[in-house]
Structure 1
């Protein structure tokens, strides 16, 4: 008897829009690896991306660096919101606990652990469906307000 694989139904951009997910065109590095999607439900903002063949590593699952880039971006956006101004990553750590399969939709839900005058400390969990893929945590330095 074989064990059933978890459902990895492919979600199209139209499916995601119908579910309330939104994306924006981005330049720079994120423009090369995205698009990244976001969705707000009450006070919670989640992020996601469709794992494409270009995100694969040598064994055919999502490259760890892609998962780290995605999580850093999502938590960074949440850190900026918590700070009320730009913040930059000062440390970031990820623990891989499962594989992100090509064709799946990988989601991140993050939270602010602590905010001080100069730093924001964050943590997050990446999932594919209900299955955990990675956990992460990091800190973001709040930048000084720009003076004219």
Structure 2
């Protein structure tokens, strides 16, 4: 018996993505996560649905999709406003599911700012299928350095 991956079960990372450097805390538990930052400053985050992401029916667990939505939606504040942030509210609507082995992506956009509160809307998808849409409110905690390689 072997634990080696068969060639047909290995994952090929989509072009432009890099693994996020999250090796501690919750990011390590939910990962690995990947991101692609485009020349225009927009971004997409992604992950491959692995065994530790699924529920008993082999679907990506809703809690995983919500946690991913949180880090996918909120990242727009890091990129565009150069702020650290915490989540105040996250509202999601589940529209479809993702199966073990599928590639899931997500992003967010700022739709409002008042004082230190940012309202963001976002989308999580798998191929042409929207899995989740949502909105969130994040509180900015302070300035952070501009992310390397990202144009403001």
Give the shorter-chain TM-score range.
0.7 to 0.9
Q: Compared with structure 1, are the counterparts of its residues 65 and 33 closer, same or farther at alpha carbon in structure 2 (3 Å cutoff)?
A: same
Q: Compared with structure 1, are the counterparts of its residues 79 and 61 closer, same or farther at alpha carbon in structure 2 (3 Å cutoff)?
A: same
Match of 2:19 in 1: 23
Unpaired runs of at least 5, structure 1: 1-8
Deviates more, 1:115-124 or 1:76-85: 76-85
Q: Compared with structure 1, are the counterparts of its residues 39 and 96 closer, same or farther at alpha carbon in structure 2 (3 Å cutoff)?
A: same
CA distance in 2, matches of 1:46, 1:111: 11
Unpaired runs of at least 5, structure 2: 1-7, 144-152
Q: Matched residue pairs, number?
A: 135
Is contact 1:83-1:115 (8 Å) kept?
no
User: Deviation at 1:76?
Assistant: 1.9
CA distance in 2, matches of 1:74, 1:96: 16
The one of 16, 39, 42 aligned to 1:42:
39
> Structure 1 length normalisation: TM-score?
0.82
Is contact 2:74-2:108 (8 Å) kept?
no
| CA displacement, residues 62-104 of structure 1 (integer Å, 9 cap, x when unaligned) | 0000001111012222123333221110000110000111100
> Structure 2 length normalisation: TM-score?
0.80
| CA displacement, residues 92-145 of structure 1 (integer Å, 9 cap, x when unaligned) | 011000011110000002111112331111111111111111111101011146
Deviating 4+ runs (over 3 angstroms): none
CA distance in 2, matches of 1:11, 1:79: 33
Superposed CA RMSD in Å reads: 2.0
Is contact 1:23-1:37 (8 Å) kept?
yes
